[in-house]
Amino acid sequence: MLTAKLSIAQNKIVVFQTDFGLKDGAVSEMKGVAMGVSPDLKLFDLTHEIPAYNIWEAAYRLEQSVRYWPAGTVIVSVVDPGVGTSRKSVVLKTKSGHFIVTPDNGTLTLVAQSLGIDEIREIDENVNRRQDSKKSFTFHGRDVYGYTAARLAAGVITYEQVGPLVPKQVVSIPFQQAVLDGSTVKGDIPVLDVQYGNVWTNIPDTLFNRLNPHVGDIVHVSIYHKHQLVYKGEMPYCQTFGTVAEGKPLAYINSLLQLSFALNMGDFAKEYHVSSGNDWSVEASLK
């Protein structure tokens, strides 16, 4: 069955991300099809709890975690409100050696920028589509994306056999880049750390460090939704949550090395009605 040689990169690992949830059989169907392609594949999940149709969050979760998988891993992301329309189905090969199989609908906005585009190929559905699936118009996740990912990861097809090369550009969702404006850093809130209610920004430590912050310094923070002030306050810059009292706010650098805000043992987002997305912005400065 495995007739093509593995490219240098493929490592038989497939990681799935969707907005399908875990309550029905959809994720299982994708994995069943993959195991039918090759029983040697190793299948993992990124998350299946992307809010329905939320392409921005799909993009962010890829940005957050793809880099921690070994080079050669094939990641499938199916958040696809335009299923069946003319959006392209592609496989991005990043400069880091990861393969991302997805509709090109904005899902690649962040990883294309951070990991870099080595090549993009459009999936040729004449070849890379599960047999007997022609009658079904709506489960591309199983019949095209998951199937192609499994075949690529297993070496049944080479990367070249995915389909034709397309220009090195992806559909991008506009978003507020992080900037330094005088003595203030500005950015957006790409996502919440939902489990704990921590507020994560897109402001990298390297930018924040240009304010020359020291542990214990007081940070002034303003948070806006559609340019309306939602939160204004000050908090110490900390390396550990436990250095402030329970329920007190702190600023810190999160595990993605970006400026973040939290309440020790509490839920900052819930307490101050802060959410995430392109229409949320942040300003921070030192006292």
Contact residues for a copy of itself, defined by CB under 8 A: 11-13, 15, 19-26, 28-29, 31-33, 35-36, 39, 42-49, 52-53, 61, 64-65, 68-70, 73, 81-85, 135-139, 142-143, 191, 193-196, 205, 239-243, 252-255, 257, 265
Backbone phi, psi, residue 188, to 5°: -120, 180
- Minimum distance from CB of 42 to a copy of itself (Å)? 7
Judged by beta carbon, residue 121 or residue 149, the one nearer a copy of itself is 149
Give 161's contacts (C-beta < 8 A, 6+ positions apart). 4, 127, 128
| 3 state SS of 124 | coil
CB count within 10 Å of CB 269 equals 24
What is the amino acid identity at position 256?
L
Q: Compute the least distance from the CB of residue 61 to a copy of itself, in Å.
A: 5
Tell me whether residue 36 or residue 164 sits nearer to a copy of itself (CB atom): 36
Which residue, 170 or 238, has its beta carbon nearer to a copy of itself?
A: 238
Closest separation in Å from C-beta 122 to a copy of itself: 18
Q: Which of 249, 139, 262 is nearest to 198 (CA)?
A: 262
Closer residue to a copy of itself (CB): 241 or 272: 241
In angstroms, the CA 220 to CA 260 distance is 13
Q: Where are the alpha helices (DSSP H) in the chain?
A: 26-37, 55-65, 109-114, 140, 147-154, 205-208, 268-271
Smallest separation (angstroms) from a copy of itself to the CB of 182? 26
CB of 32 or CB of 116, closer to a copy of itself: 32
Selection from 176, 178, 199, 180 nearest residue 286 by Cα: 180
**Secondary structure string (H, E, C) spanning 193-212:** ECCCCEEEEEEEHHHHHHHC
In the bound state with a copy of itself, the residue whose beta carbon lies nearer, of 87 and 225, is 87
Q: How near is the Cβ of 57 to a copy of itself at its closest, in Å?
A: 9
